[in-house]
Structure 1
Amino acid sequence: MFINLFRALRRHGIPATFNEWMLLQQALGENLADSSLTRFYHLARAILVKTEGHFDRFDQAFLECFGHIDSSDELIARIEERLARLPPLELTEEEKRLVEELDLEEVRGRFLDRLRNQDDEEHVGGNQAIGVKGRSPFGAWGYNPAGVRIGQGVSRHRRAVQIAEKRSFRNYRDDVALDTRAIKTVLGYMRQVVREGPKESLDVEGTVRATCRNAGELEFVWERARRKRIKLMLLMDAGGTMTAHAELVSRLFSAARDLVKNLKFYYFHNCVYQELYTDIARMTPVATRKVLEQTPRDTRVILVGDAYMAPSELLHPNGAIDFWYRNDRPGIEWLGDIRKRFRKVLWLNPEPREWWPSVPTTRMIGGLFPMHELTLEGMRHGTRALMKQ
């Protein structure tokens, strides 16, 4: 069954085995896909794909086989999307100034109260209820300087303080080849020459000195081979306003993976708190304190992000953009811990440098870390400055 998918996966370079294919057949025989193309997609990917680096190839193979089919789930989702996305509310600058802007705790309290007490009727417009196309701090496709965004897939004003819905982000690809050669050259500036391995390389100068001290009797001196090594940890902001820069960050990630044998990499969203994540969907957390304690101090650390967020996300306890996430310490303190732990730290920002002074959080983070643009020129200046720290 679906042998065309198996062949397409192999053509796209996904090493799916026959045993994994038979396991998929067994799962289908037990009706785990429940006659849904969407469930079949997730089931097949979970069984046949071993690394997130192949997710994009799987998508290409899947589209090749099933791109012409519309499942009932997809049709329903499309209808719901068309109904939900009413024309967004557009206000003049004068009208925007009249909209009440609340602080973080007021937003949180009012949202929970609305969530408990609001009826199930649809709310369009208005400035109180959770709804759409209004001035309320809660909902979608409206306007409020600070609020909780619900059911809106993209940020229109880049001003939401909290997102009260589960977010899932597409993973950064590690197989992007375009322009990675230049990025590798820049990252290569950070490599150190170290001696390691068995002593099997002849030390000519040492041999001469030892022979002279030994009254001319030949005495060989051996040393370990010289190799270039780099200890590097990448901390990458994923999703939200960084989605537009995902391809550029993918190139950096791909170059680092090829250049650094034991690369450490973690993800965060907007700001670092008490947990980092080993996957871009932020489903597998690891304690930030543990990462800092177990990573050698001489590791080079590169943080990648636009440093664009609400000030409360950086300065307030429990200010994280995910509504249900609780950070007891402000993000600025965790960033300070990273700066103190590692001597050689660099922040790469994909936004143009001329924008930075207009963003309060970018200015604050730029005062804590050396910040450079995520361009070849910016990386070149950044890595050279990093080696001088």
Structure 2
Amino acid sequence: MLIDFFLEVRRAKVPASLREFLDLLEALQNRLAFADMEEFYYLARLCLVKDERHFDKFDRAFQAYFEGIQNLDDLLEALIPDDWLRAEFEKHLSDEEKAKIDSLGGLEELIETFKKRMEEQKERHAGGNKWIGTGGTSPFGANGYNPEGFRIGQKNGRQGRAVKVWEKREFRDLDDSITLGIRNIKVALRRLRKFARQGAADQLDMDDTIRSTARNAGYLDLKMVPERHNAVKVLIFFDVGGSMDPHIRVCEELFSAARLEFKHMEYFYFHNFIYENVWKNNVRRMNETTSTWDILHKYTPDYKVIFVGDATMAPYEISHPGGSIEHWNEEAGATWFQRVTDHFRKVVWLNPLPESYWGTGGSLGMTRQLVNDHMYPLTIDGLESAMRQLSK
């Protein structure tokens, strides 16, 4: 039972062990989750995932596996033995509920009728009292009413049922495990590297050791040096949500490449434009923010700053107090951006939109002016140009 689910999780590169899978089966046997998909999701994630970096991979595997189970019988058989489920189901029914099921000929008859309707019906249907569809009073469908029926394929009921937890992809953010297609990005980012030796002398300096040994009449004289690191320090601000959704993949690749190339890198998120606060976790963005003032005080002017966004918004979101679409900002976004450019010596903006779309007016023109025209397309050529600007 659930072996295919375990294999799907493993295929998603979640390092779940056989021991953890057996723990999940034991938890199910002890009914820590029973006949509730969301409870099973949380229990399975608790047992199989030991690092939050893999939460999003698990969500994708969970969705892929359970979307692959096409009908109710397959789903029940995959999770719970049929006779066990029916016995437990009947124990929890009130007399009134049993009477409602009996009025339709019993549970078996209800399921058989549903199967026949599915075979007979060849098109979408809305309203009415027979076919499977939306609205109406048929026992089968979505967004309708029949106290003796059941709902099919409806993600958001009229009583406020939420989208499935694993479909929300709350842990996606910018996954630093993405490696596909980042090789050229890494090559472009290397233009910004500046190596320096810092820390404890724990690496053998072969050339100096040979010279020193020769000067010492052949007696070995080991010379050690600190390890060589990329000394460049980078701050990256990502615009997330809204019109940036189509560009998630390229931003993930940029993020992953930057994490690999720069030892000293910090990242923050914003939406549309920077104001008094930014954040590091999309799930808790309304509760756990970082003050922009704190960033200006904490990070020294030698940090290289990269903004990533399409700069597409209403111009007043940049130019006016209260322009933010998510909260009331006492000071204009342009004021905050000017503080950033005044503090940090090198600031560039990477735009995922093709350069031919930019123009010179609107929010894009305003942003280009604020960044002193150091806006570059999020392409390999654009990245190389941006890195050259930052390394000057």
TM-score by length of 2: 0.62
> Which residue in the other structure is 1:362 paired with?
364
Secondary structure at the residue paired with 1:174?
coil
Percentage of matched positions with identical amino acids = 31
Contact 1:236 1:303 in 2 (8 A): yes
> Which residue in the other structure is 1:12 paired with?
12
Q: RMSD over aligned Cα, in angstroms?
A: 3.6
Residue type of the alignment partner of 2:309: G
Secondary structure at the residue paired with 2:9?
helix
User: 1:67 Cα deviation (Å)?
Assistant: 2.9
| Aligned-partner Cα distance in 2 for 1:53–1:339 | 36
Contact 1:202 1:223 in 2 (8 A): no
Secondary structure at the residue paired with 2:235?
strand
> Which residue in the other structure is 1:297 paired with?
301
Among candidates 138, 149, 153, match of residue 75 of structure 1: 153
| Aligned-partner Cα distance in 2 for 1:198–1:169 | 37
For structure 1, the residue ranges without an aligned partner over 5 or more in a row are: 81-165, 212-218
Contact 1:183 1:255 in 2 (8 A): yes
In structure 2, do the counterparts of structure 1 residues 167 and 254 end up closer, same or farther at CA, with 3 Å as the change threshold?
A: closer
Larger Rg: 2
> Which residue in the other structure is 1:315 paired with?
319
> Which residue in the other structure is 2:187 paired with?
185
For structure 2, the residue ranges without an aligned partner over 5 or more in a row are: 73-149, 159-167, 216-220
Residue type of the alignment partner of 2:154: I
Q: Would you say 1:306 and 2:290 are equivalent positions?
A: no
Contact 2:350 2:376 in 1 (8 A): yes
Q: How does 1:15-26 map to 2 (within 5 A)?
A: 15-16=15-16, 18=19, 22=23, 26=27
> Which residue in the other structure is 1:346 paired with?
348
| Aligned-partner Cα distance in 2 for 1:314–1:24 | 54
In structure 2, do the counterparts of structure 1 residues 359 and 56 end up closer, same or farther at CA, with 3 Å as the change threshold?
A: farther
In structure 2, do the counterparts of structure 1 residues 332 and 30 end up closer, same or farther at CA, with 3 Å as the change threshold?
A: farther
In structure 2, do the counterparts of structure 1 residues 16 and 53 end up closer, same or farther at CA, with 3 Å as the change threshold?
A: closer
In structure 2, do the counterparts of structure 1 residues 379 and 65 end up closer, same or farther at CA, with 3 Å as the change threshold?
A: same
Contact 2:274 2:336 in 1 (8 A): yes
User: 1:5 Cα deviation (Å)?
Assistant: 3.0
User: 1:176 Cα deviation (Å)?
Assistant: 2.4
Contact 1:347 1:371 in 2 (8 A): yes
Among candidates 379, 382, 385, match of residue 386 of structure 2: 382
Contact 1:36 1:73 in 2 (8 A): no
Contact 1:292 1:341 in 2 (8 A): yes
Q: How many residues align?
A: 289
| Aligned-partner Cα distance in 1 for 2:172–2:224 | 51
Q: How does 1:256-267 map to 2 (within 5 A)?
A: 256-267=258-269
| Aligned-partner Cα distance in 1 for 2:206–2:384 | 35
Among candidates 268, 272, 275, match of residue 274 of structure 2: 272
Q: How does 1:44-123 map to 2 (within 5 A)?
A: 44-45=44-45, 48-49=48-49, 50-52=51-53, 54-69=55-70, 75-77=153-155
User: 1:241 Cα deviation (Å)?
Assistant: 0.4
User: 1:344 Cα deviation (Å)?
Assistant: 1.4
Secondary structure at the residue paired with 2:273?
coil
In structure 2, do the counterparts of structure 1 residues 288 and 22 end up closer, same or farther at CA, with 3 Å as the change threshold?
A: farther
> Which residue in the other structure is 1:101 paired with?
none
